[in-house]
Structure 1
Amino acid sequence: MSVAIKLYRKGKKHHPFYRIVVSPKRYKANGKYLEQIGTYDPMTNPSTIKIDQERLDYWLSKGAKPTEGFSKLLKRG
């Protein structure tokens, strides 16, 4: 099973809030996920990113591939 690290959008219209989740690659971004490893709140100033680094390293070692959106977020943060 190929897994990906994705941004799962929550919140209200014009007030997004994202969960950073690990889910099977074929699942849609708003679908089921295996584990939540962090959050991202772009509405705070500055943007707030909280990631459980230990779990991120674990999933990357297991072969999880970050999506393009999550990769951009990591480079910024």
Structure 2
Amino acid sequence: MSVKIRLRRISDTAKKRFNFRVVVIDERQPRDGRVIEEIGYYDPSKTPASLKIDKQKFEDWQKKGAVASQTLKSLIKKVK
């Protein structure tokens, strides 16, 4: 089983505002499929956009072999 750390969209479709959870998920699952663990969130509607990730869990999952998605990597670089 290959594990990825990526974004899962949650939304208020009536107002077209999207928020995202940072999740650990099997890469074969769809974007909004069953997750292993939620480790943070990303809210692009705020100014500036807010990204909060539990660093300890993120590092633990990377040690176990989970790979962060390209989108998540770019968001983390922007925050640092």
What range is the shorter-chain TM-score in? over 0.9
1:29 and 1:5 map into 2 onto residues whose CA distance is 11
Q: Percent identity?
A: 35
1:72 and 1:27 map into 2 onto residues whose CA distance is 22
Map 1:1-77 to 2 at 5 A: 1-13=1-13, 14-77=16-79
Deviation at residue 51 of structure 1 after TM alignment: 0.6
Could you list the structure 1 runs, at least 4 aligned residues long, displaced by more than 2 angstroms after superposition. Answer: none
Unaligned runs of 5+ in 1: none
Give the residue type in structure 2 aligned to 1:37: I
The TM-score normalised by the length of structure 1 is 0.94
2:39 and 2:67 map into 1 onto residues whose CA distance is 14
Task: Number of aligned residue pairs: give it.
Answer: 77
Larger CA Rg, structure 1 vs 2: 2
Unaligned runs of 5+ in 2: none
Provide the alpha-carbon RMSD of the alignment: 0.8
Residues 39-72 of structure 1: CA deviation (Å, up to 9, x unaligned) = 0000011111111000000001001011111111
The TM-score normalised by the length of structure 2 is 0.91
Deviation at residue 32 of structure 1 after TM alignment: 0.4
Give the residue type in structure 2 aligned to 1:53: K
